[in-house]
Structure 1
Amino acid sequence: MLRPSSLRGRLLLMVLGTSLAVWLAAAVMTWIDVRHELDELLDGHLAQAASLLVAQEVPELEDDDRVDAPVLHRYGRRVTFQVFQEGKLVLRSASAPDAPLVGDGRKPVSGFHTVDVGKRPWRVFATRGADKDVQVFVAERVSSRNDILFAVLRSTLWPMLVAMPILLLAGWWAVALGVRPLRTLGAALARRPAEDLRPLAAAGAPDEMRPLVDALNGLFERIALLLERERRFTGDAAHELRTPIAAIRAQAQVALGAGDAPQRRQALERTLAGCDRASRVVEQLLTLSKLEADAPRRSDPVDLGAVAQAVVAELAVAGIARHQNVSLSAEPHVVVEGDETLLAVLCRNLVDNALRYSPPGARIEVGVRRAGPRALLVVDDDGPGLSEPDRQRLGQRFFRAEGSEASGSGLGWSIVQRIAAVHGASVRALASPRLGGLCVEVGFPAAAEAPVRAGADAAMRK
């Protein structure tokens, strides 16, 4: 319970240690203060007693005579006095010695002194009498003062000493009660099954625990989102890879059973096409999974025209193979803030979709320009286009328009929309007013004029 790693033990040690330290400090301060006040009081009594002796007349005695005062109280031997006249002891208490308490009795002495008489310390007050040849000493045992001091301290500190164990128990109970919500929370978390990611109830939690409960609820929410993404990724992969894998298997069976070389070659080519499609689906799924991971991404000034130029140059070969005309019109220095790699993926998906879903001989026009404070990336084609209901469904995973013969997974649009969201851009699909097919516009917040990245400069020089 009191180990350093225990919060309750630490609190107990701090509370009880502080209480004990305060009690000891109070006892020391009481000791010092009471001793000072007691010394002042008893010194005043010695001075007062000396003044009474001074006020009295010294009796006329013979040369060798002296008067011994009687002992009237059982503590009388703890207080003593002496009166000397012309160096001779003429009056004393029964417990006083013959020799002067301070000095030799002839030389004038005054004030307070602490001396040893009979191996015991005495507090002595010395003063001159009414006659100049009279010396008065009044003394008290120091041990008597200590006895009074201990009696006062005993009556003062004893109740505090008795109360200390009660205070310790009360501190232990208060700390145990205070950390009970933490123990309750820990027990509740320990009993939870791994799949239970419901938020913790924070209604009855102390104010100091609310940040912890809120942080745990936020963690549960992030874990739930992460698990949902993993489940969705697994479901997407299983859903989309099922078709190409089945096609590859079917074509492999055809190739095994083919009786002539042309039929076998055709089956193997379709098998390779199925492998390419499966590879593309995996690549798209991985890209989408990375985008949904919400990892920090770099943001640099990027020349959007240079990115589009590099993508068009890469995909132009596929367009030529289908006798399609791919062109680019880009204004200079259209700069946006973002990740150049992700922007290239966005542009590649848009252009690739236009190539895939447009018939042979179609025109695909890519444009980059400014539109007021925004930068626009536009991809136009003269393909069959999409109906309004189909355009509304773009971005849904695995959605493909009915009647489309081109291969695809429908993930490309999800990737485009996710990258656009990361860059604060908007995506709009509409009927192309110039070519009659599909027109896709991506609007980016334009960046201030700044040096673009070296990769974009290199692309512009190609």
Structure 2
Amino acid sequence: MKLSSIRRRILIFLIPLLFVVWGVFSAIVYNLTEEELYETHDAQTFQLASVIAQLQGDTISPEHLDEHHVIGDYFVVIRDASGNDIYKSSDKVVLPKTLKPGVQEIEHGRDDWVVWNFPGQKTGQHYIIGVIFDEAIELADQTVATVSIPLALVLVFSIIATIFIVKRGLRPLTALSETLATREPGNLGKVTTEKQADELVPIVDSLNMLFDKIEEHLAREQRFIDDAAHEIRTPLTVVKAQCQVIERDALDDATRLRFDNIIEGVDRATHLAAKLLEHARAGQDVHKEITEHDLLPVLQESLAQQAHAALDKNVELQLLQSEHVEAVVDPEDLGAVLGNLIGNAIRHTPSDGEVIVVLERRDDHIQLSVEDSGPGVPEEYREKVFERFFRMPGQSSSGAGLGLSITQTLCRRNGIEISLGKSERLGGACFVLKLKK
């Protein structure tokens, strides 16, 4: 039978188990209690038989008595109306001359006794039966023990069994939780309702509806950024074109300074719009298929694109690995990542500095490193540099603060692990990329 319901799954396992536990431990309690009752009954029967035998002038051997009892545990006394003992089964206990009718406790030597005094209705005789106190309470103790110990075991076993069955019954919920916990942040695909418990289907459906709404909202946000970036770039291009028509040399010094500031502001705004557009595109196509590609052409092209910037700043730019290595990555995304990292390293490296790109094979991944001889990044800022619009205090170089955020987004899309540390070779910053083989 298919257990599609968590409730049914738990009940089907738990109820039969409780019946089994109840049956087993009831049998144990019955056997233990029966054994103790039989022992007590045997001792009392032996005492009664001994009294009858003595009244007939005979005796019974104590070897027939159960080993748990001794002859001195019981006594029988018959008294006449004057208080004289007509019959005594044992001289071990000396009774007071007067005993009130009914049950009472007396102390003799080191032992406590429970004594029953039954007056006769016709002869006035008293029939006295005594049992040592320990023997009187032994049956109660044994009965309590034989009941409480198995019940305690039943309780412990039931708790353990219940925990196990509930854990097993809630396994579909645990599996769903693990599925959601291992999802990538950008994965908003639907969660399948196949093989889900009946109680979880409405939850999964609600989650899928929420994922659809989030995906739709993110798509609108990305379209807005894309459209805004396009709309911003067009008037900026027009403004810059109009400024370039003006003859700069014909302006006085103060006007020339304001003119240069306008050109610089337009360039920065254009750069920001380009970065916003790049950021929007980086968040798109999250689920596109990625296959293995040769990294060497991508590295060579990325260095070639940054060679002019390095030459202008007199920064030595080199690749320390020239063999063909394949990794699971999108070449365009990797090119954008390397372009951001190499360009960032050149900007922050002083003149006559050095920037190197290192490609290494590791046991379980391919490692790419971009290192520079610049001032590096203090440890307290190494996580924050990947945040949008973050700029380190005292930083003099221009930038929109989006390059590393875009880089991290592209790395996540390609399953690349990126980290920032200190370069052991050059002493500056070292960005490390770990690519899947």
Q: TM-score range by the shorter chain?
A: 0.3 to 0.5
Which protein has the larger Cα radius of gyration, Structure 1 or Structure 2?
A: 1
TM-score by length of 2: 0.46
